């Protein structure tokens, strides 16, 4: 198993500096991770640092609360793609989901997917705030809107990925979308288990520890 190719090497903290982004990108190139995942302001810089490698750039949108307007998220996603991102990790409007405004949630995902075209869209449903039924619905809405991935967490909520959530999400999307486990993936054995359970991608800031099995 080439576990490095499952990893989105990530830094999203508020205090991230250009030096942090440079370190992240250099590590991603060295370890041949699938991508680096950064906030929008650093997309073009990250792209310039990985341009001579196979490492892609992923950008977060509506991060981490998901409570921006749909129009703001669409603009953010389009700009990130224009600046060099190949993948978008968007946060749904969790409050709208809980209010059962399902059309709103689905339409928002669809509009972002349409705005970025063939680029990959991952939908962060922030499982720690959802009931089992809400998790299922969020996955179904993501499928309806033609998202490429459903993703467990931002890493900024009250909890991250769990094995149970990945099993549940995979059972809903089957082979019609992929699953990304994110938040709390810190060691090789945990990462391996998520992949065995059906995750196609791992979001983590512990990629080096994972591949070096430390």
Active-site residue (options: 8, 89, 148, 165): 89
Pick the CATH number of 3-211 from 3.20.20.20, 3.20.20.70, 3.40.50.11740, 3.30.70.890: 3.20.20.70
89 included as an active-site residue: yes
The pLDDT of residue 191 is 97
Average pLDDT on 160-177 reads: 98
Residue ranges per structural domain of the chain: 3-211
151 included as an active-site residue: yes
Q: Which of 203, 91, 199 minimizes the C-alpha distance to 147? A: 91
| Coil/strand/helix, residue 131 | coil
Give CA–CA dist 57/47, Å, rounded. 6
Give CA–CA dist 202/140, Å, rounded. 21
The pLDDT of residue 1 is 79
Give CA–CA dist 70/48, Å, rounded. 29
Q: For residue 16, what are the contacts with CB-CB under 8 A and spacing of at least 6?
A: 38, 39, 42
The pLDDT of residue 118 is 98
| Coil/strand/helix, residue 91 | strand
pTM recorded for the entire structure: 0.97
Q: For residue 135, what are the contacts with CB-CB under 8 A and spacing of at least 6?
A: 125, 127, 165, 168, 169
pLDDT tens-place string over residues 8-27? 999 999 999 999 999 999 99
The pLDDT of residue 213 is 87
pLDDT tens-place string over residues 120-164? 999 999 999 999 999 999 999 999 999 999 999 999 999 999 999
99 included as an active-site residue: no
The burial class, CB within 10 Å (0-12 / 13-18 / 19+), for 134 is middle
Q: What would the two tokens of residue 156 be?
A: 């900024």
Active-site residue (options: 113, 151, 170, 178): 151
């Amino acid at each position: 198993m080439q576990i490095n190719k499952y990893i989105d090497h990530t830094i999203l903290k508020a205090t991230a500096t250009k030096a942090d982004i440079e370190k992240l990108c250099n590590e991603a190139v060295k370890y041949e991770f699938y991508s680096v995942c950064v906030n929008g302001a650093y997309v073009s810089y990250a792209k310039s640092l990985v341009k001579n490698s196979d490492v892609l750039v992923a950008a977060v949108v509506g991060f981490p609360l998901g409570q921006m307007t749909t129009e703001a998220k669409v603009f953010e996603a389009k700009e990130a793609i224009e600046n060099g991102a190949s993948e978008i990790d968007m946060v749904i409007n969790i409050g709208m989901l809980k209010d059962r405004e399902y059309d709103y949630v689905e339409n928002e995902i669809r509009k972002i997917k349409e705005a970025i075209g063939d680029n990959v869209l991952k939908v962060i449903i922030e499982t720690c705030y959802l009931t089992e039924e809400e998790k299922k619905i969020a996955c179904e809405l993501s499928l309806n809107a033609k998202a490429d991935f459903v993703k467990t967490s931002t890493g900024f909520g009250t909890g991250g990925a769990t094995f149970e959530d990945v099993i549940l999400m995979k059972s809903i999307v089957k082979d019609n979308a992929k699953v990304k486990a994110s938040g709390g993936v810190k060691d090789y054995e945990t990462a391996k288990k998520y992949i065995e359970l059906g995750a196609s991608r791992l979001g983590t800031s512990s990629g080096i520890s994972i591949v070096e099995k430390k």
